Amino acid sequence: MSIFAIGDTHLSLGTNKPMDIFRGWQDYVQRLEKNWRALVSPQDTVVIPGDVSWAMQLSAAEADFRFLDELPGQKILLKGNHDYWWTTMRKMQDFLDENGFSTLKILHNNAYRVGDFSICGTRGWFFDATDDQPDKVLLREVQRLKTSIAAGRALGGEPIVFLHYPPVTRTQRCEPILEALHAENICCCYYAHLHSAAVGTAFQGELDGIRFSLVSSDSLGFSPKLIEK
């Protein structure tokens, strides 16, 4: 029972938002499926930390969710900055139930136990994000992170944190998120969001006792990354 991660799947099977217009994204859905099926077994779990689907409404994400549901393993989905379909937890869970998407789970102010670990996380916040009230949004994300970690500890597993936005790069730091990770004694944090040339700005490795790793799909060659076996 292994844990994998791959973010930024950017699926658009039910919408007209092709990603293969970008360099390196040609045939990415087929590549993702081929690699996924070669690596992931039905007993495994795959965390997708944001930018799951380009759908603007939840109903328009049905084809993308069906594609993921039919792949091996359990999948845990987080919100990314392009997940416009994201809505309340109840509406999302009802949508999954009504469509029989039994392998998909939503990570939102909660956590999931997988073996000896608890999967925790939230969207997070980043330096290129735009919002009318950035400080308010950041504080909300910090609280959601803490709530998720608390839920993970209550489940009895060692918390592993997943964020969409990177809390640190080679040149920038999101101090409130980093402070929360340190305060909660988190040892591993996986993040997405960075693509193309921005992949080169990613911080990967250990910083003050926390191991950080980028798992955006194009940085991984559209192949889920094994993080725990």
Give the domains, in start order, of the chain with CATH numbers: 3-228 (3.60.21.10)
In the chain, pLDDT over 90 holds for what percent of residues? Answer: 89
CA–CA distance, 192 with 202 (Å, rounded to integer): 10
Is the pLDDT at 223 greater than 60, yes or no?
yes
pLDDT score of 3 = 98
pLDDT score of 19 = 86
Asked if 137 contacts 164 with a C-beta cutoff of 8 angstroms, the reply is no
How crowded is residue 85: how many other Cβ atoms within 10 Å of its Cβ? 22
DSSP 153: H
The structure's pTM equals 0.95
pLDDT score of 96 = 98
**Phi-psi group of 155: left, alpha or beta (phi > 0 → left; psi -120 to 50 → alpha; rest → beta):** alpha
Asked if 205 contacts 170 with a C-beta cutoff of 8 angstroms, the reply is no
CA–CA distance, 216 with 163 (Å, rounded to integer): 11
- Averaged confidence pLDDT in the chain: 94
Task: Give mean pLDDT, residues 204-225.
Answer: 97
Query: At 86, phi and psi to the nearest 5?
Result: -60, 135
Beta strands in 42-194 (DSSP E): 45-49, 74-78, 104-106, 112-114, 117-122, 158-163, 188-191
Residue 127: pLDDT band (50, 70, 90) is low
For the segment 159-192, what is each residue's pLDDT rounded down to a tens digit? 999 999 999 999 999 999 999 999 999 999 999 9
Tokens linked to 10: 């950017």
